[in-house]
Structure 1
């Protein structure tokens, strides 16, 4: 699961240090949902403030 998280974050230009523990947990749930064939409409990664946090 850690590799999948890193891959998703890399694809979005983010690092784990930019997300809070709660956001990382939500991201894990989103990845699990996508693996089950579900569509996530409002992702944790849709938050524009993530891109202004320091790496």
Structure 2
């Protein structure tokens, strides 16, 4: 479960690419996308935890 949260957060949340996202999508959408990706990472981890156990 922890590994799923770590890997999905690592792949989906882009703090390094945030300046590029702000340039193309705007500040509000870039932050919203990263926030939703962060929350979705925990949802994925929870589902993996249910499936594996």
TM-score by shorter chain over 0.5: no
Task: Report the structure number with the largest CA radius of gyration.
Answer: 2
Q: TM-score range by the shorter chain?
A: 0.3 to 0.5
Greater helix proportion: 2
Q: TM-score if structure 1 supplies the norm length?
A: 0.39
Q: TM-score if structure 2 supplies the norm length?
A: 0.40
